[in-house]
Structures are given as C-alpha cells and as structure tokens.
Structure 1
Amino acid sequence: MHGINNTAPSALLDLAVTDIECVAGDGLGSFWAPTPAALDRLRRPPDAAGRRGFVPRGIRREAYSWGGLVRSTPEPTGPGGALVAGLARVGWALLLPFSIANAAVWCWRLPTGTVVLSVRAGLVRLFGGLLTLLLLSTVMSVAVDLLAVQCYAGDSLVCTVLPQPFEALARWTPERRMALFSLAPVLVVVGLWLLSGISRLRYDVADRYLDAREPSASADAADAQKADAPLLARPQFWSNRGETRRLSLGHLAAGVSLVSAELGAQAVIDGGGVGLAMAAWLCGGLLLLSLATVFGTRTLPVERVAASAAGRWQKTLAGLGGAGYLGTLGLLIAGWPSTGGDATGRPGFTVTALAPLTMVGLMLALIVSSVFFRLPRAGAALRFEAWHGLAPAVFLSLALGIGLVLSSLVAVAAGDWLNGGAGASALLGSGPAGDPAATVRTRCTGTCVSLDPQLTIPTLYPWFGGVALFVFAAAVLVVVAALLRRRAVARRVEVWAPSTSFVGTSAEDQPMPVGSAAELLALLGPVRDRKRATAARLHLVEPVVAILAAAAVVAVLASELLAWLYPRLSASPVTAGVQAAWTGNAGWALSWLDVAMGAWAGIALLVLAGLVLPAGPGRSTRPLATVWDLACFLPRAGHPLGAPCYTERAVPELSRRILWWLRPESDTPATRRREVVLAAHSMGAVVSLAALFSLSSHPHWAALRPRMSLLTFGVQLRPYFGRFFPELLGPAVLGTTPCLRPRLWAADPWGADHSAGAPEAGANAAAAASPVPARRWVSLWRATDSLGFPAFSNRPTGNPIDEFADEIDTSGYTGAVGAHQGYYRTRQYHSALADLAGTVRPDPR
C-alpha cells in the first residue's frame, strides 16, 4: 500500500506499466498484480532474487492503489481534463479550513464508554458551523454589499469594470438587486451541501463492503463492541453516513438563515417596515436554532445515537430556513413595505460588516474554551500528547487563521477590482472625523456617474491581511532561525546501526577496493549526513505548527480590535492632537495594508501551486498536498462540508479484499493455509491498521488473526498520529511506548525521547499480546527519511517492532541515498517479508 504521495501501482510493484494488470476495483480504489508473463520472466534468471520487482514463489503480490480517493479529482485526460482536475484541486484546497477544524473533534481525550452528548465535541461542531457562516458572510459582503448596493448610485452603475449587462440592473431598486445577488451565498452553501452528499455516496461504503455481522458473534467480536474497545474497531466509526448527513443539514439551515437574516436586518436599517423586521427576527431565530442543532447533533462513536434518528428535525429546520429566505425575497422584490432609506448613501452594508466580527469573536471564545479540554488529566501524562494537550485549540486556531486569510483575499481582491485598483487601504472608508483628506461617499439624488466608486468592505478583512502578514513574518523568522541551527543525529542513529558509521582513511590505510561498500559509503556518506540533518529539521512539525497557531491567534485578536475601533474613530469627533497624530502616522500603516494584501495574493498562488502542480515530470506528488491528506483521513464528525474522508472507503475496501483472500472458496483450494502480509508505506500504514482494527469486530476474527501480519515502513504513527490523536492511534491503542515532543532548539530533536529510557524488559512478551490485531508487526525506518520514524520506540533495546533500514540504495545502476521512498528495495524489507510470509530468506547480497 502506498502513502500520501499516491505512488503509482507500477512503482509500488517495481515493474514497468506493461507488466502489471488491474485485478479488482475501479478508478477510486483498485488492486494491481504482476502479469503471469512478467512473473515467469522475472523468475527465470539465476539472479532473479536480486532483481527489482521479483516476487518469491508462494507469494501473490498485489498493490492497493487508493490515490483516486485522495483529493477526489477527476482523472486528467488531455489538456482539458488536466485543467478540470487542477480546478477541482483548487476547489478542495479552499475547503482546507473545514478539514482542519474537523480534525479538532478527534484529537482530545474522548470519553471512555458511551455518553448521551459530548459537550466538548458539540463546541467543536459549533465552531465548524461558525466557520461555514464566515465563508457565507464573505460571499454576502462581495455579492450583496459591493455588487448589489455600492456599485450603483441612483440609476447609474459606478463600478465601470463590470460588464454591460450589469448596467441594466441600475434601473432596479436596491432591494431587488439585493434579492438577486443574495442567490450567490445561497448557491454556495447549497453547492457545498450537495457536494458533501455526493461524496458520502461514493465514500461511505462500509455497510456495502463489509459483511453483515452475524447475530451470534464470537467472544472476541463481542469484546470489540464493548465501550472500552478502540474506536477504530467499532463498525460505527466507518459507517456514519447518517450522522454526517444530519450535521450537513444543520449547516445548510444555518447558512440559508444567515443570508435571510442579514437581508432582512439591513433592509430594516435602511427604513423597511414591520414585515421585513418580522422576517429578520424569525430568520435570526432560525439561525440560532440551527447553530444549537449543529451543537447537539451527535456524530462521534462515543455519543449515543438513537436507532430511529433519521434527521427529520434537521430536514424540517432546513425547510423552514428555505421558506424564510423565500419570504424575505418576496418582501424585497415586492417592495412592500418600501424601504424609505437611501441605500446608496450609507457607508457600507453595516450588517455584513458586523456579522464577521461577531462570528470571529465567538470562534475565539470557543478556542479559549477548548484549552480546558485537557482537564482533568494529570500534568505528567500531557507530556506525551501534542502541544501538552492543547491539540484542539491548535487545530481550531489554524482553521480560523487560514479561513480568515482566504476570506480577506476574496473580499479585498473583489473590492479592489471594483474600486478601480485603489488598494486595500481605500476600502477602509474614511479616517478620523475631521480629517480633511477623509473620503466621503457622494450622495446621488438623481443620475450620476463617478469614476471612483469609493467602495468599502468590512474593516476586519483588510486589517487582518496587514496584521497577519506582520505577525506571520515574525513567526517565520523564528522558525527559520530554528531550522538553520546545526543538527546532529549520529549518536542516536549509531545505537541502531553502528556498522553504518564511516571514518575516512588515512595515508597509511590500504586503498579501498573499487565498488566496495566502504568506497560507496565514502562517496555518499556526506550526502547521507546532509539528508539526516534535513530530515531532523523537517521533523519539527509539532513546534513549528504551535508557533504558527499562536501567530494566528495574535493576528485575529489584533485584527478584531482594530476592526472594532476604526469605524468608531472614523465616526467620532476627535481633538486636533489626535487628528494630527492620525494624519502624520497613519499613512505608513495604510500603505502596509496595500503591500500586505499583494503579498498574500502571491503566497496564495504559491500555496495553490503546491497543492495542484506535480513535483516533477511523471509524478503525481504535490508538495503541500501532504497537509490535505493528513487532515482528511478522519470521518467528518466535526465539519461535514470539508473534503471527504478517504479512509471511509479505503478501509472497508481493503478489509473486503483481505476476507476474500483468506476464505477458501475465493479461489481453487490452496496447497497451504493462506495468510496476508500488509506491507504499507507512510499513510498506508494508518489505513492498514484501521483495516485490521475494523476486521477485529468480525465474528471469525479469532481464527483469522493468526494469519495476519503487518510490515510498515516510513511511518508517522508514534510521533504524529500517536501524539495528535491519542484515542485513535495512541500508545494505549497500538501498544507502543509514549513519545516525547521534538525539541525545537536541540541538535537532535528526538534526543530527549531517545534518552527517556529503554522499554521495559518484558517488551517482547508484551508484543505477543499486542493490542494491534495481527500476528506480528515489523516496522522499518531510517534517519534520512523526513516523514519516517520508529513505530515502537526511539531505542532499539527491547524493541520488538522497529528495524533500521539501509540508507544507501545499491539496487540501481548507481548508488543513491534513500529518503522516504524505496524501502522495498532494502535488504531489511526482503528479510522482514520472508519472515512474515514464511518463505526462504533472500540472499543477503
């Protein structure tokens, strides 16, 4: 099984494309095997065992390709298909904040046993609902405020960059234009809801792929259903289509109600009558009720879900939200009662300006409340959890920061384009009252045309762009300083592989034989050491993310404060001293806003390129897509509108293939008992372990477990998943030793974890009774791998799982230093496979 790089099946099998064939599956997930002709050709030469792609006799080797599930993009066929695939990836990338917020619902100490409703999970779901509303509020600001209201003055279109069809709308009343353009945010939330439903149909297949559980389950299967069983072993974990659907309906109801409430409230401010006021109050009440429903919708496996829960209440709420929106549209279109105010004379869409401020303030409060998720655990235990137990706060902070960056880019870019390119600072409106240079909107009583429309947007967006760039630049400087520090991991690695050390020869030494291992090590030793140091720097994910999350919180707090103060400073008379200070000192700050938003636009393009463009010719790897894949391996229990969870299909699909192979009736009678060795790379190890835990609830698993083995390589289970998600893949679930955090300023980030003490003497005995549902587990790693770590402990003493793999690959024409790829070419891989599969060990040459 491949990892997050979506290695092609031919590369997984180390064969040419013409030497493999698809034996099962479709475009999303498929199983590939060498062709009979290729197997026959590979096994004929006397040195066959040393050739790439060789399959020992007695083994049927298949590659499971689940890359089609990741990022859910269409298969690029031709230039048009490549363009569509790229746009699809961009669309999924824009939903990254939703996926990061969803991860927060899984990363804290979940309740042991079953609870009626988890308040902490409800707070994360409420945060996800507010994140959806922030996106819709941004679309409202652009579509309804800028396009429908501020771009028109009297009977004229003042935003001259808009195409000619927009001029015909100048004869409409502002209320009717608001009603028309409000379709944009409604279509956005309906589109996200439909996309979520479509992805559930394609991904949530556990009830169709896994066999139905027999009424008389075995004792082992019954134990797996207990409340204290690992979450990954509960069938509900992989079949939560109903929970996600109900939660998505709550988001739909909240989004539509927000649009209706903002439309009605602004119309009332402009002079609307009782009808619009009642519509605004009713839709506002539906909005609060929808958010309460999002909070109370039970989505976690530990929450008790009624068997009769069919989402009728969520459907009713969504229907009421739609009815409220249609009623508000009817009042606006009919113009009854007519709004007596002059919409073209107000300094911006005030309700839309207030909405994001309120939502961000509430999300900040939820982030603060998530700090207490780690209570009442002991302080010593928190050392082995990410960010000392503050993982929910970190994930929520990142989601809010990235979401606000995207919202600011959209709002400022649209406003600046419509405003004639005057810059982000021009979108703030006027400065302090009394400023002679303050911008004042022209009130048009009749037909008038202005070459400078002087648009304004919610002040939160430009202020956040400027403040966030400054704060993040300071955070990046700290990170760069840490990464530039010299790294040395030789002492830790020497314990694992003392034979890999090399001391240069002196003049008295005998010359090394040409082509010997010593000569190869002399040539590639410096490259290996540099790769080790680079990998050690890239292992600092946890402290670096903590710095960025802290920067996001600081930027949001400062922006929220400035966004609240600036309009009040602009509207209030000030003294001459304050006026002079503003006139003399504010220029550089406003200029910084213009520069900052341009810089953010460039950063956004680079990030999207990293998510969309391949790393090199013929490869599907996208450098920053790793973040996407790591955030989307969990079911959407916190936010239902993010990118789909690929493990919801990969795990049942892999489980079904394993059961097919182990059953005698799947093929002709086998000459010996069939077994399975799951050989998984990187993220594939997470999918494999999840499949094993899923199979542990099978009624016949007691007889099947001795026939299952696991071989992993280049995995992140212990330092990342074990610390980030302790309830899913932590030490208690996998039977590994707890992991200390990497040290940002230490020469060896894992030196403290390495020195924390060796595993207990009974580790081998514990391995025999490992909670991992497999007969045996072997894991390979090397120090040159930036994404690979030991799975059991950072020490080899008493370690029953980990083995150090060769860092120098000699299987090719020239030697090369391996990193995250190519583990299946090492001697240790072939030896471990032979041990687990019960075949003859290959020649150590």
Structure 2
Amino acid sequence: MSAASGTWSGASTPQPSTPDGSAPDVLELRVHGIRNSPPQDMLGTPTSNIALAQDGVIPLGDSLAGFYTVREPLPGEKTHLEAYSWGNLDRFLRGNSLLGKAGRTLYNLGWFIIAPFGFSNAAYWARSFRPDASREGGLRTGSGGGVVRVFALLLTLWLVAAVSTVAFDLVAVQCFLPTGVPNSWKLCSALPSQFDGLRELTRGQRLAALSLTPIAAVVLVGLLGFASNVRFRTRALDAARARGLDAEHDAFALAVPALWVRRRINSPTGTLHIAASLLLVVILLMSDAAAHDGPAPVSLLSVAAVELAAVGYVVAWWSRSVRPPLVADFWARREVWAYFLLGTAILTYVVCVIVEATTPTTDQTAPFTAGQLTPTVILVLLTILATVGCVVRSGYHEWIATAVLTVGVLALVVAVGGWLDPLGWAANAAAVAVVVLAGVGFVVPYVVLRRREPRRHEHAWHGAGPGVFMFVALLIGAFLASAVALGTGSYLRSGRLQSLPDRGDPLFRDVSIPAGAHDIAVPTVFWAFGGVLVLMVLFVIALLGVPAWFGVQKGEIENPPVDPSEKAFKPEIEAVRRSSAFMQRAEPLLHTVSWVIGVTVTVSLAFTVMRQARGQTGRWAWVLGVLGSWLGGRDGLAAFTAFAEWAVLTSVVLGALAVLAVAIANSATTGASRPLGLLWDLMAWLPRAAHPFGPACFSERAVPELADRMIRWLEPDGAPAPARRVLLATHSLGTVLGVASLFHLAALGRADLLKRVRLLTFGMQLRPYFGRFFPELFGPEVLGTPGVAAPSFWTADPWKGKDLHDAPTPSRERTAASAAQAAAHSGDSSRSVAGTPLTELLDIPEGAFAIAPRPQPVWINLWRRTDYLGFPGYSYSATPNNLDRVTLEMEPDSYMARVATHGNYFMTLAYLEARDDLLTGW
C-alpha cells in the first residue's frame, strides 16, 4: 500500500492483457453491502483523495448514492478504481441538532410500524412465479399473489382497528360516564385537558369527532412511504431503456427488463388501502349505532360492507400482474377505479359522520361491541391467509386452500362457542367432522403436491417461505397493536388508583381502588393475541436458544481447518466460529417460531370465542369454576388473573421500551441511522409489490445505476471499446445488487458485454439465504451453482452434510432450447439469453467449479468461517474449489490481534490474490 495515496496496488503482479497483447483498460467497481463502508474505506484512501466519478461533465451520483473514484491514482496503475456508495438511500439524515435527532427518532418509530408491511412484501417475492411477456411488468404473479395482497390489505385494516379501539372504545365511550345531568359527563382523569370540550357532546358526536384519528394514522404511514419513494426512484434514462423491451417467456425473473423500474410515486393500490380504511371506520361506527340506536344505520352499514368487499376483490384481481398497465383505455386504467372507490368511500364516510352525530343514543353506557369483535375477525382472517401462504409454493390453488381453511375455522368457532347446543349433540358432532375434513383437505393435497417438487430441499421452510414471512408480519403487527391498546388502557386506568401517605410509616404509601370505581376494559383480543403471543415466542426462543448455545460450545467446527499461520489464535478463532454459526440458525428457529405463532393464535382464538360466548351460550362457564377451584376459589382466580395481566403487560411494555430505545440509539449515533439495521436492509431491497406502504426499494435505483455504469464504461460515448473490462467486486448485500445488475444487462439485450465482466464476491449470502428464501430470484437454477439444505439447529456446525451437489442444475441443452424458443418467438436472437443462469452469462464452463483446477477464473468468492453473514458459493466441504477461497480469520490491519468477522475483506491478501488472478491474462 502506498503511503502517498493510501490505495492498494496490484503492480507487483502481472498486469492484465488482451489477446492481442495490449493492456486493457479495467474498471474495478467495488460495491459494499449491509455495513456500507464509506467510499474512502472501499477505495483505501483518505477522504480528501476521493471525488464523484464523472462521465464527461456529468457527475455520476448525488447526496444519496453515486460512484466515487480516487483523485490521484498511483503512478502506472492500469486499473481504474471506483466505489459505488448507496448507504444514504437507507438513512434519514437531518443534522445532529436536537430537533434533527428528534425527527429521526420519530422516523425510526414509523419504520417499526411498517415492518409488518415489509414482511408481507417479502412473502410476495418468496412465492413461485414466472415471467410473462403479456403482463405489464413482465411477471405473472402465480399462486398466492392475491392471498398476499389481501393479507397486506388486512394489515392496514388491523392498524385501523387498533387505533379505532383506542379512539372509539377506550376514549370516546369508556372514558365518558353520564353524571345524570343532560349532555354532561364525567371524564377520565388521565386524559389531557384538551379532551374537556368533548364532555358537552353526545356519544355519537364524540365518536364522529374522533373518527379521523385512525384515518390520520393510515395517511401518516402512507406519507412515510411516499417520502422514501421519491428518494429511490429509477432514473428517467434507465427507465426508458428498460421500458422499450419485453420480457422473454423463458426468462428468469431477474432478467425481466422492467423489474427494477418504478414508474410513479402514487399507487392505485395505496389509494384502495385508504378507501378500505375509511370504510372500516364507517362499519365500526354504524355497527355500534345499529346495535343500540335501532335500524336507521343498518342500510349505511350494508353499503359500507359491500364497498369494502368490492375493494378487497379489486385488490385480489389486480394481483395478476406486478404493476398496472402503462397504456390502457380510460375505463381500464387502475387509477380511475381506485379514485372512484376512494370517492365513494369518502362520500359514505361523510354520510356516516352526519348520521352518527345526529342520531340520538338511547344507551349512553353500552359497550362498544364492534371494537371488541372487529380486531378478532381481522386477526382470524390474517391467520387463515398466513396459513394458506405456507402451501401456495406447492401449487395448491390459493383460493381453494383459503375456502377449505375458512370453512374449517368457521366450524371450529361455532363448535367452540356452543352456538349449536340448541340443535343437540349431532350438530356439534357434524361441526367437529367439518373441522377434521377441512384439515385433511388442506394438509393432504399440500403434502402430495410438495413431494412432486424435485427441488423442494433447496427451498426454505419446506416451501412454506411465504407463510413464514406472513406469520412474522402477524407477530409484529399483533405486538404493535397490543402495545398501543394495552399501553393506552393502562395509562387511562392509572387514574383510578388513589395514593395516600401512610402516617405510620415514612417510607410507604397506600394505593387503593375506591369502591365503585369505574375501570377501563381493553378488548380481549389484544391480551390474547398480542401479549400472550409475545410471551410464547420469547419462551420458545429461550427454550431453544439457551440449550443450543451451551450445546454448540462443546463442539468444534473443523471445516475448513484453521490456517497454520493463525494456529496461535486457534482458541479465539474457534470461539468466534461457534458464535457466528449459532447466528446462522435463523431458518430453523423461525420455522419453530412460526409453528408457535400458529398454535398460539389458534388457542387464543378459542379462548377469545369462549369468553365472548360464555354470556350467550353458557357453554364454558364451568371452565372458570374448575379453574377457580384449582386456584383456591374466587380470590385465587382473581390473583391469577391479575398476575397474567401483569405478565402480559410487562412483556408488551418491555418490548415497546426496546423499540423506543433502538429508535433513539439509531437517531443519536452519527451515520448509523437506519431504523431497523439489517432487518430493514433485507426487506427494502425487494420491489414494493405487496403492500403499498411498505419500505421503498433501494434496488430500483441501485441496480439500473450499476448496469448503466458498466455500459458507460464498456461503451464510452455509445461506441464499442473492445479493450475495456469490468471487475465487479461486491460485498454482502452488494452482491445481491451486483448479480441483479448483471441479469439486468442481459435483460436489456447487452449480454454480449458480460463476456468482458469478472465477478469477485465476498461475505455474500446468495446460496443459503437469498437462494433458499427467494428461489425464483436467486435459487440454484438462476445462479447455476449447487443448492444447500436447511441448516441444522443442534449441531456445532449447522452446515455439515448440507451441500446438495447432486441437485439438478440447468444443462446446456436446456439453455439452448430456451434460447431457440425465445428467439423463434421474438425474432430477436440477441436477447435469447435472459433464461440463462449466471454462470453461463459469465461464460463459465459447466462443472468448472469442481476440484479440477482451471487456468482462468471468471468468478471468485471469498469467505471465512468466522463471518456470521458470509458463506461459500459452491460448497462448505469441497474445499478448495474453483469458486470459493477461504480468507484468513484474523483482522489484517488491526493494531491488536482481533478475529475478523463480516468486514474488512478489501485489506486481506486473499482479496489481492483473487483480484490479480481474475485480471491476469484477461
């Protein structure tokens, strides 16, 4: 390394050369990943020695992302070094002032709220889908697209239901008690004085006044996505280049030209989500009015229900393609129908507010029943759709599976609730039989269809990836809603406690509840589905994690062996290897957690139904009697109930405090203001195709920019430059962006340029994570590399024996047949490579990654066993091979001896050797 410029030099090794003997002009393009080191670190030079690269007078970047280069390269250096920095795309930087940090904290909290939306988006891309040139966007969504999008709509309605519970049930109804004087009320002492003005209103007028609260919550979430949408938009030049091309019928999804193009800021589906939110508010208010004020609001309730069903149908219907048609007749345009449905929803809401404010309420103290039932119904529907998501990859038709499961759940509800008791035991037996038949009709077809899938071992969670992501979204959504409802309820209930000093003791005071004091009742669903769910998941993680941690500490990870030069640090290296391997067991852990979520939700549903139905059917009244006898009578039951409420509330409060702490910590740390860190990065790299308010996709800017930069270098001023080359060096999530950009080049009809590209990857997750979670995007068939089975949870080395080297990979015959078919269909042979795996796009011979040596590598992957996020691309056991190279496991530039993990590959000798091997003789 030169002290003058601070850049690493490869001058000591042979320089690359073209076949005619001339020296090529090589662009070494470095793309960092999740940690996103600043460009000066990627270039190995001081900050004063870097600048934005330029194409003529045009700077190749802005404050969010761009290509940086060295101002003063080393004398005689033939390689042009650039670093693509995209870190500011996923950061919210507004200065280090108090107001700036407060703004970032609120921004981070907003991202926690939309985290379930991001997981629903991941579920969308984890399904099985295929390119289709007849569809706008070039993709046919396949089975499960409608289920995931309806699930996403229900997540928005779940947010509306949670906020409505607080605004309508807890505040507008339970916090106001009549005083006996007309239009006069007692008010919760915990409410701020700003609510005093509502005391002069009727119950209906208060509900109408607070009806904007849940709508405002949805609009704010939409604005959060809107703000980031502008930051990540595809450049006009890159979008125009892709729009002029159609997807090939046999292409991989990554080779669809319009995959990374975002056309507009607004979203017709987002408009429908707002319309659905308005309609749910109308249903809540009119359900309450119809239950207590006679039949007048029933007609408006029916209209709102029909409109909401229409919105859900349209959302499911639009799921047939990823994006709306670019050109369509007026009545076929999605915007027209979206704004029409929004307009009717606004009109219905306005009429609802008028009816609610003018209709006299006969029973001012009646419970807000709709607020108790609606969250339960929504969460049951979310659970049904998440379960259906577990089977859609097998080919089970999504709506048939949904119908079978819905019938079984309805039969379970009526059987558990006891509503069939008046019809006798035969009716209950028939309901149980329906439940059993529905279970058989759901499971057996899935098992049969799944066994027919030859690549099922390469798919995460036995092909249940969409459902697992949906269950995780369900867990986070239930927790956030419970935190809002239970936290607000506890705050309002605090006013009932009276604190009096104990005159006989200077240290303690008496806290008591006055006789006849009113209490605030939070709906059962938030106790059962929120807090209990969190407790069960934490319990399972502790139950599995603690024994696994102590178990792996006794084992050793021997493959690959520790390098002889680092034998002195073998104990430290082995310890980091074990801890890194422990962190790589996310897939089996999430598999178990998903089962726990499903079982817990089912049990909680049964408990909620029993509690809701006990006053009507009397079926389960004896349960409380038996439980009371076990606990020592009524006092014991009350003590147990209080303890259970305390445990649930404590778990939710601690979780909420943890969320708040992370948000504040991210906002207080300079340069580390990503709201969810790694989790956010893994959600936001995917195009936003399921939930319109989810995290915006930074890849829609980064991937076309990388492809454009390679085109600009290999064809300066639009003219071919045969002597030019590109060495694409990518780290971690940067490898995802880099590989996607190579397929994007093929999609643009520039596969000929890929013959002049070499790939150097390090710290990547393509094979065990992205390839298993999203097989259609990065599976073995797409990459052309062998697959890998799921990691083991209980062994020290989770990947021992997991290589699937015998798994089928695309053959040359298949590729040739696909190319001929596509060329015959399109008449354009230059674009007949979009269905070609990455290895063949890079002109890597079949079987070249095996043990036999190759004279000229095209793709080299660096990894170390102490890297918790870095994996081999070919094999864990077949080392050495022609794709993977193991780097040393001690930090190369640390003052004190320190074990290396996920970063600092640029400074290793293995990187320099791999770089020179790729360039030499090229």
Task: Look up the match of 1:636.
Answer: 688
Residue aligning to 1:689: 739
Contact 1:464 1:559 in 2 (8 A): yes
Cα distance change on mapping 1:786 and 1:713 into 2, 3 Å? same
1:198 & 1:316 partners in 2: Cα distance? 25
- 2:688 & 2:599 partners in 1: Cα distance? 28
1:471 to 536, 541, 554: 536
User: For residue 18 of structure 2, what is the aligned residue in structure 1?
Assistant: none
**How far is 1:207 from its partner?**
4.7
Query: Does the 8 Å contact 2:790/2:802 carry over to 1?
Result: yes
Q: Which of 334, 346, 361 is residue 366 of structure 2 equivalent to?
A: 346
Equivalent pair of 2:128/2:143 in contact (CA under 8 Å):
no
Specify the SS of the correspondent of 1:832. Answer: helix
Within the candidate set 775, 781, 784, 1:732 is matched to 781
Superposition map of 1:723-802 within 5 A:
723-754=772-803, 771-772=838-839, 773-774=841-842, 776-796=858-878, 799-802=881-884
2:896 paired with 1:831: no
Relative to structure 1, is the Cα distance of residues 623 and 168 closer, same or farther in structure 2, using a 3 angstrom cutoff? closer
Q: Is the 8 A contact 1:711 1:833 kept in 2?
A: yes
SS at match of 2:36: coil
Amino acid at match of 2:307: L
Rounded to whole Å, the distance in 2 between the matches of 1:490 and 1:280 is 63
Contact in 1 for aligned 2:33/2:732 (Cα 8 Å) = yes
- Structure 2 counterparts to residues 381-392 of structure 1, below 5 A: 381-392=455-466
Contact 2:131 2:253 in 1 (8 A): no
Residue of structure 1 in register with 2:241 after alignment: 212
Tell me the residue number matched to 1:130: 154
In structure 2, what is the equivalent of residue 393 of structure 1?
A: 467
Deviation of the 1:688 alpha carbon:
1.0
Match of 1:491 in 2: 558
Q: 1:558 to 1:340 in 2, by over 3 A?
A: same
Over 3 Å counting, the alpha-carbon distance change for 1:807 and 1:759 in structure 2 is: farther
For 2:291 and 2:229, locate their aligned partners in 1 and report how far apart those are by CA, in whole Å.
Answer: 42
Provide the rounded CA distance (Å) in 2 between the counterparts of 1:801 and 1:319.
58
> Which residue of structure 1 aligns with residue 374 of structure 2?
355
Flag structure 2 segments of 5+ consecutive residues without an equivalent. Answer: 1-30, 54-59, 179-183, 395-448, 498-512, 816-832, 844-857
Q: Does 1:562 align with 2:607?
A: yes
CA separation in 2, counterparts of 1:381 and 1:422?
Answer: 61
SS in structure 2 of the partner of residue 297 of structure 1: helix
* Residue deviations 1:476-518 (CA, integer Å, cap 9, x gap): 1212212221254543213xxxxx445xxxxxxxxxxxxxx4x
Change (3 A) 1:702 1:462: closer
* Distance apart, 1:412 and its partner CA: 0.5
Which sits farther off after the overlay, 617-626 or 390-399? 617-626
Q: Is the 8 A contact 1:465 1:593 kept in 2?
A: no
2:550 corresponds to 1:529: no
Report if aligned partners of 1:66, 1:650 keep a CA contact under 8 Å in 2: yes
Structure-2 separation of matches of 1:182 and 1:761: 57
Give the Cα–Cα distance (whole angstroms) in 1 for the partners of residues 754 and 345 of structure 2.
51
Q: Give 1:599's aligned residue.
A: 651
**CA distance in 2: counterparts of 1:820 and 1:29, whole angstroms:** 22
The 1-side partners of 2:70 and 2:265 are apart by 41
Structure 1 residue aligned with 2:86: 66
Pair 1:277 & 2:298 matched: yes
Q: 1:542 to 1:62 in 2, by over 3 A?
A: same
CA distance in structure 2 between the partners assigned to 1:524 and 1:399 by the alignment: 42
Say whether residues 1:234 and 2:256 are aligned partners.
yes
Q: CA deviation at 1:190?
A: 2.4
Q: Which residue of 2 aligns with 1:85?
A: 104
* Aligned counterparts of 2:212 and 2:626: Cα–Cα separation in 1: 43
Selected match of 1:456 from 502, 516, 521: 521
Contact 2:127 2:466 in 1 (8 A): yes
Once the 2 structures are TM-superposed, how far is the Cα of residue 184 of structure 1 from its aligned partner? 0.8
Change in Cα spacing, 1:835 to 1:179, as seen in structure 2 (3 Å) is same
User: What displacement does 1:242 show?
Assistant: 6.0
Structure-to-structure mapping, 1:159-174, within 5 angstroms? 159-174=188-203
CA shift at 1:305, angstroms? 8.3
Indicate yes or no: 2:480 matched with 1:406: yes
Distance in 1, Cα, partners of 2:388 & 2:226:
31
Q: Which moved more, 1:725-734 or 1:8-17?
A: 8-17
Q: Give, in whole Å, the separation in 2 of the partners of 1:759 and 1:793.
A: 15
Q: Structure 1 residue 298: deviation in Å?
A: 2.9
* Separation in structure 1 between the aligned mates of residue 872 and residue 480 of structure 2, nearest angstrom: 37
* Bigger shift: residues 130-139 or 772-781: 772-781
Contact 1:199 1:644 in 2 (8 A): yes
User: What is the CA–CA distance in structure 2 between the aligned matches of 1:813 and 1:327, rounded to whole Å?
Assistant: 72
Alignment partner, residue 433 of structure 1:
none
- Which secondary structure does the structure 2 equivalent of 1:212 belong to? helix
Q: Which amino acid aligns with 1:524?
A: F
Task: Kindly indicate whether the alpha-carbon contact (under 8 Å) linking 2:146 and 2:320 is maintained by their aligned counterparts in 1.
Answer: no
Query: Is contact 1:759–1:797 with CA below 8 Å preserved after alignment?
Result: no
Residue 258 (str. 1) matches residue 324 (str. 2): no
Q: Percent identity at matched positions?
A: 31
Where structure 1 has 5 or more consecutive residues not aligned to the other structure, the ranges are 44-55, 424-438, 443-451, 495-499, 503-516, 841-845
CA offset digits 1:695-735 (Å, max 9, x no partner):
21223x14311222221110110000000000011001111
Q: How is 1:494-533 mapped onto 2 (pairs within 5 angstroms)? A: 494=561, 500-502=562-564, 517=565, 521-533=566-578
2:697 aligned residue: 645
Q: TM-score normalized by structure 2?
A: 0.76
- 1:270 and 1:339 in contact (8 A); partners too: no
User: How far apart are 1:256 and its partner, in Å?
Assistant: 1.2
Instruction: Measure, in 1, the Cα distance between the counterparts of 2:529 and 2:758.
Output: 51
The one of 100, 109, 114 aligned to 1:95: 114
Q: 1:214 to 1:9 in 2, by over 3 A?
A: closer
Distance 1:11 1:759, change over 3 A: farther
| Native 8 Å contact 2:120 2:691 kept in 1 | yes
Q: Deviations over 1:231-255 (max 9, x none)?
A: 1111221125469812212212211
Residues 243 and 126 (structure 1), Cα distance of their counterparts in 2 relative to 1, 3 Å cut = farther
Gap change, CA 1:119 and 1:757, over 3 Å in 2: closer
Compute the displacement of 1:614 (Å).
4.8
The 3 A distance-change label for structure 1 pair 639 and 761 is closer
**Quick check: 2:93–2:673 contact (8 Å CA) kept in 1?**
no
Measure the CA separation in 1 of the matches of 2:45 and 2:706: 22
Q: How many angstroms does 1:30 deviate by? A: 2.2
Shift of 1:636: 1.4
Aligned positions, number: 759
CA contact (8 A) 1:156 1:167 kept: no
Q: 1:807 aligns with which of 869, 883, 889?
A: 889
Moved more, 233-242 or 632-641: 233-242
1:270 and 1:341 in contact (8 A); partners too: yes
Q: Do 1:162 and 1:418's aligned partners in 2 also have CA atoms closer than 8 Å?
A: yes
